[in-house]
Chains A and B, each alone.
Chain A
Amino acid sequence: MRAFISCVYLFLYAPIALVVLFSFNAGRNASEFTAFSTAWYGKALSNTFLVSALQNSLIIAFTSAALAAVFGTMAALGMERLSSRMRALFDALFAAAIVVPGVVIGIATLVALVAVFSFVNPTIAALWPGDQPPQLGLGYGSIIAAHGLFSMALVAMIVKARIASLGRDIVEASSDLYATPLTTFRLIVLPQILPSILAGFLLAFTFSFDDFIIAFFVAGSKTTLPIYVFASIRRGVTPEINAIATLVLVASLLLILTARVLMREKKSKSGE
């Protein structure tokens, strides 16, 4: 049994280790390790297409995760006070945002946005006084919106679970002592749910940063890092891609570890 378990761990980590190892390979050949070198990292980071894809990914991941953290938390706080029927509707929609395959979310967003653009753009053009009316199109906005949907659901779920385990008595004590609802929120509730919000933010960031398929549909002419990596793989695997892949792995690993630490803190504090 132990041998089998060891094999499974090897199976899980060997491919990752291989990519990391070959990112430090001096040679171009992907089958033999010639000498240790960090040259491919330098090449990767001086590749302007790649750096701009990385920038796009960071901007999109940060914005969609921030939106999701704020709106998802607000929704989690508001949902408690909704009627049970409305709450069930919200739960179902959030669950749908998570369960529906990314491919379909991407398509649905694309279809809907294009329908909106084909109506809005001529209208703007007709009303615009100057020669060059602004055109709405796919890009940052559409990717952020589509990632924000999934991320908001994720944050709302995580924060809602935390609120459910929150002690009611301390909130009641606070209002008995004449704190305004806003003060109670700021001094009592927020500090307790903050780790969950941060964890949700980090998970949403990671999801957005790693997502390929949704962005592939709604990116328009914008290129995110996964889209760039995917396109490069189809042109042939190079050590440069290994270097980027390693950087992506390290980044998502750090974010996930931070998120997990934050969530564990939540659990120990609530005494589970």
Chain B
Amino acid sequence: MRAAMNTKRNLVTAALVAPAAAWLTVFLVLPFIAMLVFAFGERAPEGGYQVAFTFAQFANLPTRAAAFWNTLLLAPAGALLCLIVAYPVAYYLAVKANPRYRLILVSLVVVPFWTSLLVRTYAWMYILGSRGIPNLLAMIGIEDVRMLNTPGAVLLGIVYGYLPLMIMPIYVSLERLDRRLLEASADLGAKPVSTFFGVTLPLSLPGVTTGVALVTILLLGEYLIPQLLGGGKVFFIGNALVDLFLQSRNWPFGSAIAVTLVAVVVVVLMVAMRIAWRVAGTRQVDLV
């Protein structure tokens, strides 16, 4: 009787998870295996893939070194710039802001993150383009300033696009901070500056780690911002991948780059988790 009930219970469980399991297998696990196989193959003469076993694709990686360097330099640089802008905002929201308006102010930070990145990035093409700020500068006599299609424009776009994602985790860890610690620090004669560096900042480090890790990981696969604001001059790995798969149809080489990208993401993730464990227990980020 009990065994029969258990069997029935197991069947129900299996039926519940089966569709998601099938989806994950067919559209995540198998594609990754296919991509791995492709990465060791050769480009067919007409484009696409033909069966082979060679390490040539990985040996070719240096031909796309510019994309790798741009990504590996600009992604962390963008994340750090984000952090510099985000920290004061998160601090203000969590500690200084009037509690009555806090929820509204926090929502106002999150809303842009959930609207189209394409549209928000394209707005900057307007502002940085020749009819935007350079046009205004020309009016006051500063001629020929080029802003669009530079690494600076890409960095700006990165900070703009990912700022909300950096603010939220820092805000969450600052909000959970025990106010009594700040009072205790003040009672013991610490100046506000020492309280900040001795108490507040160290206790917000888990949020900082989460934010930097999230933003860096997402930036490693970024395509739109370098494409629109870098004008095809500031290539990221994502741009190289689109080029290889959709234009030159060199699938094996593209697969090798994609596999390498995933490896880099995994390494960054593991390092971030190590750091997070060290600075205190990891925290969940509630983005919605």
- Residue positions of A touching B, CB distance < 8 A: 1-2, 4-5, 8-9, 11-13, 15-16, 18-19, 22, 29-31, 70-72, 74-75, 77-79, 81-82, 90, 93-94, 96-97, 99-105, 107-112, 114-115, 145-146, 148-149, 152, 156, 158, 181, 199, 203, 206, 210, 212-213, 216-217, 226, 229-230, 233, 237, 241, 245, 248-249, 252-253, 256-257, 259-260, 263
Contact = CB atoms under 8 A, between A and B. Distances in A.
A111 B12 CA distance: 34
17 contacts: A5-B89, A16-B115, A19-B126, A71-B23, A94-B24, A100-B262, A101-B265, A107-B35, A107-B241, A107-B255, A107-B258, A108-B35, A146-B27, A158-B288, A199-B288, A253-B114, A257-B111
Interface in B5-60: 9, 12-17, 19-21, 23-24, 26-32, 34-35, 38, 48-49
B254 interface: yes
A111 B252 CA distance: 10
Interface of A is mostly: helix
B245 A15 contact: no
B20 A104 contact: no
Contacts of B88: 1, 4-5
Contact of B17 (A9, A75, A213, A217): A75
Contacts of B254: 107
B122 A260 contact: no
A272 B186 CA distance: 30
Contact of A13 (B21, B112, B118, B265): B112
B66 interface: no
Interface string B267-279: 0010000000000
A109 B31 contact: yes
Contacts of B132: 31
A260 B107 contact: yes
Contact of A249 (B115, B217, B224): B115
B180 interface: no
A153 B88 CA distance: 33
Contacts of B15: 78
Given A8-B85, A15-B127, A111-B31, 6 more contacts: A104-B261, A107-B254, A111-B251, A112-B35, A213-B224, A260-B288
A173 to B, nearest CB: 20
A266 B258 CA distance: 39
Interface string B196-218: 00000000000000000000011
A136 B240 CA distance: 28
Contacts of A256: 111, 114-115
Contact of B89 (A8, A15, A249): A8
B125 A233 contact: yes
A101 B218 contact: yes
Interface residues of B, number: 77
A76 B217 CA distance: 26
A216 B241 CA distance: 12
B228 interface: yes
Given A12-B112, A15-B124, A217 B245 contact: yes
Given A100-B262, A104-B258, A104-B262, A78 B35 contact: no
B160 A81 contact: no
Given A18-B126, A112-B27, A212-B224, A99 B217 contact: yes
Contact of A103 (B38, B48, B92, B242): B242
Interface string B160-204: 100110000000000000000000000000000000000000000
Contact of A100 (B9, B123, B237, B265): B265
Given A93-B29, A109-B31, A210 B116 contact: yes
Contact of A149 (B23, B129, B135): B23
B221 A71 contact: no
A102 B262 CA distance: 11
Contacts of A31: 131-132, 135
Given A107-B35, A203-B288, A72 B28 contact: no
Contacts of B27: 109, 112, 145-146, 148-149
Contact of B163 (A8, A90, A233): A8
Nearest to B14: A78
Nearest to A253: B115
- The 5 residue pairs across chains A and B that have the minimum distance between CB atoms: A101-B221, A78-B16, A108-B31, A15-B123, A75-B20
Interface in B222-272: 222-224, 228, 237-238, 241-242, 245-246, 251, 254-255, 258, 261-262, 265, 269
Nearest to A250: B115
